[in-house]
Structure 1
Amino acid sequence: MADRGATTPAAVPPPDDWPARPELSLALNRMGSFDWDLVSGRLHLDESALAVLQVPPEAFDGRLDGLAGRVPRAEAVRLDSLVSQALKDGSQSYGAYYRIRTQDGSLRWTYTQGRIHRDEQGRPCRIIGIVRDATEELGHTGPREPDEEHRHQTTVVEKTTAALAHARTVQDVIDFFKDPLAVQHLGSDLLVLGLVDGGRIHLVAEGPSEHFIPGTRYTRVEDNFPMSEVIRTLAPRFIESPEEFAACYPWLFERIKDIGIASAAYLPLVAQGRPIGALGLLYRESRGFTRQERNLFIALGSGLAQSIARAMLFDQEQDLAEGLQQSMLPRRIPDIPGAQIAVRYRSARMGRDIGGDWYDVIPLPGGRVGAVIGDVQGHDTHAAAVMGQLRIVLRAYASEGHSPATVMARASSFLHELDTDRFATCCYAEADLTGGVLQLVRAGHIDPLLRHNDGTCRRLPVAGGLPLGLSAEFGRLDYPVTRVELDPGETLLLFTDGLVERPGADLDEGMRRITELVARGADELQRLADQLCEVVDQRPGDDDMALLLLRRHGATPQSGGRLQQHIAPADPEALSAARHMIRTAVQAWGAQERADEIELVSDELATNALLHTDGAAVVTIRMVPGPDRRVRLEVEDRSSTLPRRRDPGEAGVSGRGLLLVDRLADVWGVEPRGTGKSVWCEFVVNAAGAAPNW
């Protein structure tokens, strides 16, 4: 007989909002969704996702950078590395636990899972996924039954090992144990982590930090401490009562008894049969450690030891790679009058990789300076060796006085003749700090940036040729020169692609992002360089980065200073640069009325030196102080044969050079030099003269 009070499901109408919409289900379970367009870089987070991440909707601009303040740096690096690997290895999806920083400054566990969409060529173009609050899942610490306690201890080992698997450096491991949640996560009341350092034990992490015991930062392995004992014996030490603690380690117990410590588990960290440290888990209640618990703690110590050993190896390889790389770079940047320079280098974050990125600053005569940035193909010792040789020959060619185009062409031929299959991209800039003319040559490299005095920044479109090595192989050694004006206070930025490339974003997007960062960056040059490096440090990557910033000062040489220009044989670019130097100098000295005469004489003397000698010529111009202000022009060559004035005749096509010099200059002469001679002449300018226009 049916129960009169019973009703069938069909007799009760469902709620008006049944079944619940997906948005409601996600929100009630503290779960949100996201859609990340990798091509444009736009990131959509729904309201539930923003609530999980505790980001106000009005504060989110649709860019991944907008979440940078919510995720601690170590967690962000680990998460970016996981996503980058999934994008590269063809994975369909990924999932990861990480922590976010809440509005009150505490850390909270979060979980994200994404599905990767790829285009027809297999390139990742979009990630769609969910983000949810994982606090209860990972942070539960309530009372447990015996079976639940076993599951909890096993979970602690598994999750601790999983978290440490992403730690690449020793500092990453230390940061994990310094986190206030580490104690709660491990199920203890306090923890201490010590690493063996030259016969001593260095306490590198303790939690919570307010319970640090003075005198325990550095201890000896032979001291009577539980951490020292487990390192000596390579066996764990379990202390189950305050009495046992006081009897075995009286000095230490006297200093921790006020904290209320009653029991502890000290675990040796052993890797390849060698002790590298010890972990101590301390409890405020007396407890007996079962065999099962002891085995689990030993497993925890073993996993931690392997993580630390791997991190130590990573640090050693990183130090070796960076040390070798730094030895290939200039030991110091010379002081350049009229300019301020900042350089930076960041190695790849892949441990043993040695990059081929380099920078160089080359002082040149005549108030000029050469700035080089380049990148040799590959990340190994061979790339570094090629980079070192290429840097030296570029410096040599530039110092010889060759034009920027010639420097690049000769460097390409040199690389092609080496026994290597590597090529290199490069950008070379020669700056005339007196006149402000900037000559740029690019060999397959990224365009530089120019920051103006008002803070705006723009990309400099520099005409380019093939990368070094390839241009020689294909017989295309012509490198066009781009000339721009560098005003006082303006900054030229040269860099390699490690600064602008990001996983899932194209190069143009990276250039726009760096351009915006430079525009709103610090005015002080060294600080601006640091800010650009912080962009690289905060993200994972498998490429190194070199950066060179050159800012022209407003100050110029005082009256009487010398300006010089080297002119190599068959180098019309250098002749043009010499004309510009002379024109700029005489204008600044208030000698415009004789500018044409001085420039004509300079051309004649330089041409004669190049035609009648085997080497290069050096053009020097300076103001000679005295009652009559005079401009002195000198052209040096390596020939000891003195010039002579002769009559060219009516039909002669040569022999008129010295006649022209004699007619235009107020006085001229020839001075023998140890390695050749110098033909000089002087022009009286503005005898009544105003002050120089410096």
Structure 2
Amino acid sequence: MADRGASALSLPDDWPAHPDPILALNRMGSFDWDLDTGLYHMDARAHEIFDVLPEEYDGRPESLAPRFPEAEAVRLDTLVAQAIKDGSENYGAYFRIRRRDGSLCWTHTQGYIRRDETGRPRRIIGIVRDAAEELRDLADRGDEAALDDARREQTNVVQLTTAALAHARTVRDVIDVLKDIHGLTHLGATSLVMGLVEAGRIRLVAEGPAGSFVPGTLVTRIDEPYPMSEVVRTLSPRFIESPEEFAAGYPVLWPYITDLNITSAAYLPLIVQARPIGAMGLLYSDRHGFTPEERNILVALGSSIAQSLQRAMFYEQEKDIAQGLQQAMLPRTIPSVPGADIAVRYRAATIGGSLGRDIGGDWYDLIPLPGGTPSGGGRVGAVIGDVQGHDTHAAAVMGQLRIVLRAYAAEGHPPSTVMARASVFLHELDTDRFATCLYAQADLSTGVVQVVRAGHIDPLVRAPDGTCRRIPVTGGLPLGLSAEFGTLDYPVTTLELDPGHTLLLCTDGLVEQPGADLDDGMKTLTSLIAHGPDDVRGLADRLIDIAEERAGDDDVALLLLRRRGPDTLRPGGRLQQHVAPGDPEALTGARHMIRAAVRTWGLWDRADEIELAADELITNALMHTEGAAIVTLRVLGDTDRRLRVEVEDSSSALPRRREAGESGVSGRGLLLVELLTDEWGVEARGGGKCVWSEFRVPGG
């Protein structure tokens, strides 16, 4: 073993690792090799296996050189170096060591390579055990070929399973690896069960193959007479070597599995840091009993599976925390804007599969601004930005920057002032991070859009015919840097957004690809937008799906704003009306639109029903939410045609039926809608919802 580092470097806080009790119970030693310092820690059992006294060992791997025959040392060093070089997560090997008396003894090791987020190997944690007895049994029988096959098979079983588990990032991934028919074949089992410890109980999370589920075992107490409960209580494996032993030991469970023709079983506790996190059972129909080497293999596999499960559980917990923090920093809802269709999307980055890194500083925001007219269109500020870094600090800075930028914009400042003040704020914040940002202030009644850019990528505009172009915007320095260098000049670029045109703002995670130029990335994105769906929500979904497929190491924020054109009344078309709270003229206008559309589209027989149901949905949206309502009418289908009425609001609260009472004047709205319509329902729409109802068109 070669020296891999200098002892002057600092050791990890959790070094050395503490072996699980299950290893000691099965006479396995453990080691923790810090590749930065070169220190190689062994527990007491490992000292025994290498026949080295603690006072003789200085913690360095080269001090074990006298215990390795030269050929074995070269072979083992080559194996470890190759595993480190090719990115493997683990390695395993049988090798011989020379004891004090000069005799050679067979030993087996299994090492797990830990890497940092860049993929650099930092540490190897593993086990060593005396393999002399298991190999001697075969040698005594004179079967050298079987001896070699056994060595290879035992190593392959561990390597195949752990190699598959190396790619498992979630608990479901671990379960899928073990439930897969090839996984069961590697383990040599006919059936598998697995449970996780939760609040003093064991919850079944995997059972296979199909049809092997035992009623009443979905959730069991740890004190119940089941084998998984027993191994969790005792922290020791349970090997059942015959059907008779199974029936006698677990009479409650045995009647339910007799049809599986089980001849033996192995139940293993899944232990991490001296704490049981679950248990696994492997049931066999083609073997009776377990040899010592088979038991050792299963124990080693149990330890590997437990480590994979803990890693997956940590990953899911960290991902939930990261996503929760990210969502808390992003806007909870996007306001409805008169005269515009809006779609926003966010995708978190995953850097090298590292825990806690599914978070970043990208953000979007949509800010209602003073001015504008409900009938012609509102004034709105659209923001897209990216704080440097991919960690919780970047997310925290992003949240603060988003709030102050929103406040400056809502006060009515011009775009250049909004950007300059945000830069000063970030510079005065106690952080070394900077941010890129693009702010577009749009007057939807005229289509005039004023854009300022702080080190961010340019916006794009898509026309109704699908053509897409990049809008060059003169930019200033990123936020924070411009204040530091005293260059707070952010030139304003003005463009006109015609009815039906879509403004697209995004962060560089949607554009940049490894090894590709930024301009080439923009050309690719322009082509994707040109050939994407016409609907802004569909287009946003398509772009974010492409980002998911690329699985890039940067998060992505996306904002699409389409300026609506004047609606025309035509059969088969789509009508839309914005109804602001406290605006009786807008409500009256929506009723006139519904009445005219119903008569124009030839639904005379159901006109009263449609008008009454639509009026109920609009009134409910205005009464029970704090924002405006958007009313949309459209005809669906070619042969089985239907008129669909949609009322969209910015509240995520679902409508519910209420008892009106004998003298009550409200509470009958949903009952009335249900009676009048052929179908109705609720759909989530971004931060709000859409309540819809459909009416069949007479005569198709």
The equivalent residue for 2:564 is 553
Asked if the contact 2:450/2:493 (under 8 Å) is kept, the reply is yes
- Report the counterpart of residue 112 of structure 1 in structure 2: none
Show the 5 A alignment for 1:74-473. Answer: 94=86, 145=146, 147-349=148-350, 350-353=354-357, 354-365=359-370, 366=372, 367-473=378-484
Partners of 2:206 and 2:336 in 1: CA distance: 43
Could you tell me how far apart the structure 1 residues matched to 2:580 and 2:402 are?
31
**Cα distance per residue 1:36-74 (max 9 Å; x no partner):** xxxxxxxxxxxxxxxxxxxxxxxxxxxxxxxxxxxxxxx
- What is the identity, as a one-letter code, of the residue corresponding to 2:459? P
Which of 530, 536, 551 pairs up with 2:547?
A: 536
Q: Contact conserved, 1:447 with 1:460, CA < 8 A, in 2?
A: yes
Matched, 1:482 2:493: yes
How has the CA–CA distance of structure 1 residues 186 and 286 changed in structure 2, closer, same or farther, with 3 Å as cutoff? closer
Secondary structure in 2 matching 1:275: strand
Instruction: Report the Cα distance in structure 1 between the residues aligned to 2:230 and 2:580, rounded to whole angstroms.
Output: 72
Is the CA contact (8 Å cut-off) linking 2:500 and 2:564 kept in structure 1? yes
Q: Give the match for residue 532 of structure 2.
A: 521
Q: CA deviation at 1:386?
A: 2.1
CA shift, 1:279, in A, is: 1.8
AA at the equivalent of 2:360: G
> Residues 253 and 459 from structure 1, CA distance in 2 versus in 1: closer, same or farther, beyond 3 angstroms?
farther
- Per the alignment, residue 512 of structure 1 pairs with 523
CA distance in 1, matches of 2:147, 2:217: 36
Alignment partners' CA distance in 2, 1:235 and 1:559: 67
CA shift, 1:294, in A, is 0.6
With over 3 angstroms needed to count, the CA separation of the structure-2 counterparts of 1:452 and 1:202, relative to structure 1, is farther
Secondary structure of the corresponding residue to residue 362 of structure 1: strand
Q: 1:549 to 1:253 in 2, by over 3 A?
A: farther
The residue type equivalent to 1:409 in the other structure is: A
* Pairwise CA distance, 1:159: 2.7
Matches within 5 A, 1:513-662: 513-555=524-566
Amino acid at match of 2:488: L
Question: Is there any run of 5+ residues in structure 2 with no aligned partner, and where?
Answer: 1-82, 90-144, 373-377, 568-575, 582-700
The answer (yes or no) to whether the contact 1:442–1:463 under 8 Å persists in 2 is: yes
Query: For the residues of structure 1 that align with 2:535 and 2:245, how far apart are their CA atoms?
Result: 60
Match of 2:505 among 469, 494, 507: 494
- What's the secondary structure of 1:505's corresponding residue? coil
Where 1:209 maps in the other structure, the secondary structure is coil
Q: Distance in 2 between matches of 1:520 and 1:208?
A: 45
- The 3-state SS of whatever aligns with 2:310 is helix
Q: Partner amino acid for 1:174? A: I
Matching residue's letter, 2:513: R
1:203-241 deviation digits (Å, cap 9, x = unpaired): 223333354444433333233222222112111111222
Q: Secondary structure at the match of 1:250?
A: coil
TM-score under structure 1 length normalisation: 0.57
Deviations 1:302-356 (A, max 9, x none): 1111111122222222222222222222222222222222222233323223422
RMSD of the alignment, in Å?
A: 2.9
- Output the CA distance in 1 between the equivalents of 2:87 and 2:455: 38
Counterpart Cα distance in 2 of 1:378 and 1:530: 25
Secondary structure of 1:406's counterpart equals helix
In structure 2, the CA distance between the partners of 1:240 and 1:314, relative to structure 1 (3 Å rule), is same
Structure 1 contact 344–547 (Cα < 8 Å) conserved: yes
Q: Which amino acid aligns with 1:549?
A: L
User: Which stretch shows the higher mean deviation, 269-278 or 201-210?
Assistant: 201-210
State the AA in 1 paired with 2:401: L
Structure 1 residues 159 and 407 mapped into 2: Cα distance closer, same or farther (>3 Å)? same
Judged with a 3 Å threshold, the aligned counterparts in structure 2 of structure 1 residues 276 and 538 are, in CA distance, closer, same or farther, namely farther
Q: Tell me the number of residue pairs that the alignment of Structure 1 and Structure 2 aligns.
A: 426
Q: For 1:336-393, what per-residue CA distance to the aligned partner results, in whole angstroms no more than 9, with x for missing partners?
A: 2222222222333232234221111100121111111111112333322322221112
Paired residues of 1:183 and 1:208 also in contact (CA < 8 A): no
| Cα distance change on mapping 1:545 and 1:258 into 2, 3 Å | same
User: How far does residue 150 in structure 1 lie from its aligned partner after superposition?
Assistant: 4.2
Superposed, 1:36-51 pairs within 5 Å as none
User: Which one has a bigger Cα radius of gyration?
Assistant: 1
Distance 2:578 2:203 in 1: 61
Query: Mean Cα displacement is larger for which, 257-266 or 423-432?
Result: 257-266
Residue 399 (structure 1) shift: 0.9
Q: CA separation in 1, counterparts of 2:306 and 2:270?
A: 5
Change (3 A) 1:339 1:505: same
Give the distance between the partners of 1:246 and 1:527, measured in 2 at CA.
Answer: 58
- Alpha-carbon shift at residue 558 of structure 1 (Å): 8.6
Name the CA distance, whole Å, in 2 between partners of 1:531 and 1:178: 33
| Alpha-carbon distance in structure 2 between the residues aligned to 1:176 and 1:531 | 30
Counterpart of 1:425, as a letter, is T
Distance change in 2, residues 1:278/1:382 (3 Å): same
CA-to-partner distance for each residue in 1:435-488, whole Å, 9 max, x for gaps? Answer: 222222111112223232223433332222211122222232222222223233
- Corresponding residue for residue 108 of structure 2: none
Q: How many angstroms does 1:300 deviate by?
A: 0.7
Deviations 1:89-131 (A, max 9, x none): xx9985789xxxxxxxxxxxxxxxxxxxxxxxxxxxxxxxxxx
Q: 1:380 to 1:296 in 2, by over 3 A?
A: same
Provide the C-alpha distance between the structure 1 equivalents of 2:157 and 2:580, rounded to a whole number of angstroms: 73
Q: CA deviation at 1:398?
A: 0.8
Q: Tell me how far apart the structure 2 counterparts of residues 452 and 371 of structure 1 sit (CA, whole Å).
A: 19
8 Å Cα contact 2:179-2:192 kept in structure 1: no
Q: How does the TM-score come out when normalised to structure 2?
A: 0.56
Give me the whole-angstrom Cα distance separating, in 1, the residues matched to 2:452 and 2:239: 69
In the alignment, is the contact (CA less than 8 A) between 1:177 and 1:206 conserved in 2? no
CA contact under 8 A between 1:321 and 1:351: conserved in structure 2?
Answer: no
Give the gaps of 5 or more residues in structure 1.
1-90, 98-143, 563-694
SS of 2:269's partner is strand
Cα deviation, residue 274, structure 1: 0.9
Contact 2:161/2:183 (8 A) holds in 1: no
Residue equivalent to 1:611: none
More deviation, 407-416/362-371 = 407-416
Distance 2:87 2:181 in 1: 24
- Between the aligned partners of 2:517 and 2:174, the Cα distance in structure 1 is 33
SS at match of 2:500: coil
Greater Cα offset, 287-296 or 380-389: 380-389
| Distance in structure 1 (CA, Å) of the matches to 2:580 and 2:256 | 71
